[in-house]
Amino acid sequence: MRFELDGDEKDFASALDSLLVNADTVAVARAWAEGDHEPGLKLWGRLAEMGVTSLADEPVFLALAFERLGFHAVPGPYVESIAYLARDEGIATVAVPPHVPYALDADVTDVPHGPMRVSVDRTRRLFEVEAPDPIDEAAFDRAVLAVSAQLLGAGERVLADSVTYVKQRKQFGREIGSYQAIKHALADVRIALDFARPLVYGAALGEVPVSAAKVATGDAAYLASRTGLQVHGAIGYTQEFDLSVWITKIRALLTAWGTPAFHRQRVLEGLV
């Protein structure tokens, strides 16, 4: 499958990237993890002004936006508010058991909630809330598309940072990126992400099951995170190093809005 962005889509992605590059999203994410929501809420407002919060009925633009949100590790209940609830004003969140047992960032919404639960991704602040009934299947698939795009973006960021690092880090007098084993490992990530990308946009166009996109992006992003840890060595495990923001996010998103096993089963059922 071949998918090419048109001019409007490229311009939207470029404008969104420019905004996020200048927003110091790592600092925003770290503040959000500590319960300081002010920088994140300001960024939410700026993204809303760009129209990001009004993309529920524009699946290709939705996927583009969430890929960039994942690439820049932007925190907040964007999937819940924009993709599932289609809320274009204000901030909302939701729990959709059994696949989404807790509501993300309920403490920044007016949703009554219980105590916070800990996530491997410290920017994902999870709360018990009363779940709506029944599940909106179309909205659920829209949320799965958004998470898939986030995984794709996060995987791309880890790969980009890993490539930069191996060109700088030297061992035994040469850049570690010159070693064949590292080249091959990073090439495998590049291939996995390149195979996952058409599934995301195919799902946005309704030509591919959204669960197939979730499985592919989850596998590719997880491979990126494992490879990123490997090439960065011990520093990759430290919370102070920025790479950890994306690695923990990828791990959390793997099971967000349905586990890999659930989505593989959905793909199988669609085939048989």
Question: pLDDT digits over 179-190, tens only?
Answer: 788 999 999 999
Question: pLDDT digits over 75-100, tens only?
Answer: 999 999 999 999 999 999 999 999 99
pLDDT value, residue 177: 67
- Confirm whether pTM is higher than 0.85: yes
pLDDT value, residue 132: 77
270: CB partners within 8 A, 6+ apart: 209, 211
Percentage, residues of the chain above pLDDT 90? 83
pLDDT value, residue 38: 98
pLDDT value, residue 197: 96
Any idea how long the chain is?
272
d(C-alpha 213, C-alpha 196), whole Å: 7
pLDDT value, residue 130: 87
- The fold for domain 137-271 equals Butyryl-CoA Dehydrogenase, subunit A; domain 3 (1.20.140)
Contact 257, 140 (CB under 8 A): yes
- Calculate mean pLDDT across residues 43-58: 97
Percentage, residues of the chain above pLDDT 70? 97
Most confident by average pLDDT, 31-35, 170-174, 231-235: 31-35
d(C-alpha 257, C-alpha 240), whole Å: 28
DSSP state of 75: -
Mean pLDDT, the chain, rounded, equals 93
pLDDT value, residue 203: 97
Question: pLDDT digits over 114-132, tens only?
Answer: 999 989 999 999 999 987 7
Instruction: Assess whether pLDDT exceeds 70 at residue 152.
Output: yes
Backbone angles phi, psi at 171, to 5 degrees: -145, 135
Model confidence at 234, in pLDDT bands (50, 70, 90)? confident
Q: Classify each residue of 230-247 as buried b or exposed e, where b means 16 or more C-beta atoms within 10 Å of its C-beta.
A: ebbeeebeeeeeebbbbb
